[in-house]
Amino acid sequence: MVIDKKQMVVQTDSERDALLTKIRHIALDMDGTIYNGNTLFPFTVSFLNNLKKWDISYSFLTNNPTKSAEDYVNHLLEMGVPATLNEMYTSAQATIDYIKLHHPDFKRLFILGTPSMIHEFEKAGFVSTREDATDIPDAVLVSFDKSLIYPRLCRAAWWISQGTPYFATNPDRVCPTDQPTVLVDCGSLISCLAYATGRNPDVVIGKPDPRMLYCIMEKLNLKPEEVAVVGDRIYTDVKTALNAGSPGILVLSGETTMDIVRESDRKPTIIARDLDELGSWLSLVH
């Protein structure tokens, strides 16, 4: 068990066990939690298998919209991780749901996103507008775009500067990777566009917005205390849980360190070294 030497986070075994006993579903972050880049953690599959034995269902929540839900499932299966489409929920899917619910008249979107993500929006009935001042969108959507080219960034800035409704899929500054590089994520593009236009997105959809978790609770008919979010970031994963009134379990296998925990304004409900340690605690209460 991880203990903060400055005691800014205090977890007794009895408090931890009481929380874990109530959990019926675990919403798992992906990058930094079940794998790092293209490297699957050695304890991931056994952890998921044990959840099934304990009658705890699970889902995968990711702020990374660069792949479609189907692509993610295929990727997980190739890595040896058991997964189905019903268990996958990406920030792109959450954005589609948000726009359809709150702006049903918006059909034409100027999208900074990968071809896979744009295709997912087109399958959902949206039109992706061109990098053309005459092809006017209903809204701008900014995402984690690994295929980004400069003219499209400039076109997004133009529409944003004109007051076009503006959404973003996720606030992540960088994407975790096991390679010697920095993967500039959607949050950093938001900062770039804010500096250029003076505007932030009207809405940022992905974690820590609790909507993704609310969908799971409604689908499974579970209470907030019965659904936990497990992830490696406080500002997305843990805050999603806390914003929904659920336990937020931080694993230290990715981006966050205890120094970051100490500096954070909101603290995890539980801190574990990784899924392996969390699994050992769950085994004690099951």
Strands 248-251 and 139-142: unpaired
pLDDT band of 176, cuts 50, 70, 90: confident
Residue 83 lies in a domain: no
Mean of pLDDT over the chain: 92
Q: Which domain holds residue 270?
A: 23-63+208-285
What is the per-residue pLDDT for 9?
53
Cis check: omega of the bond before 171, within 30 degrees of 0 = no
pTM: 0.79
Do 153 and 193 lie in one domain? The reply is yes
Do 200 and 254 lie in one domain? The reply is no
* Spatial distance between the Cα atoms of 2 and 123, rounded to a whole number of angstroms: 45
Percentage, residues of the chain above pLDDT 70: 96
Average pLDDT over residues 156-169: 98
* Spatial distance between the Cα atoms of 90 and 81, rounded to a whole number of angstroms: 17
The pLDDT tens digits of the residues spanning 217-230 come to: 988 999 999 999 99
Do 193 and 143 lie in one domain? The reply is yes
The pLDDT tens digits of the residues spanning 11-68 come to: 688 999 999 999 999 999 998 999 988 899 999 999 999 999 999 999 999 888 988 8
Percentage, residues of the chain above pLDDT 90: 77
Average pLDDT over residues 230-234: 95
Q: Residue type for 80, please? A: G
The pLDDT tens digits of the residues spanning 130-146 come to: 999 999 999 999 999 99
Average pLDDT over residues 88-107: 92
Residues 6+ apart with CB under 8 A from 187: 170, 171, 172, 173
Task: Quote the radius of gyration of the chain (alpha carbons, Å).
Answer: 19
Average pLDDT over residues 190-209: 95
Q: Which residues pair with 261 in a beta bridge?
A: none
What is the per-residue pLDDT for 37?
82
Do 104 and 165 lie in one domain? The reply is yes
Do 246 and 277 lie in one domain? The reply is yes
Average pLDDT over residues 208-213: 88
Last residue of a domain, one of 175, 204, 233: 204
* Spatial distance between the Cα atoms of 264 and 201, rounded to a whole number of angstroms: 23
Domain at 129, CATH number: 3.40.50.1000
What is the per-residue pLDDT for 7?
45
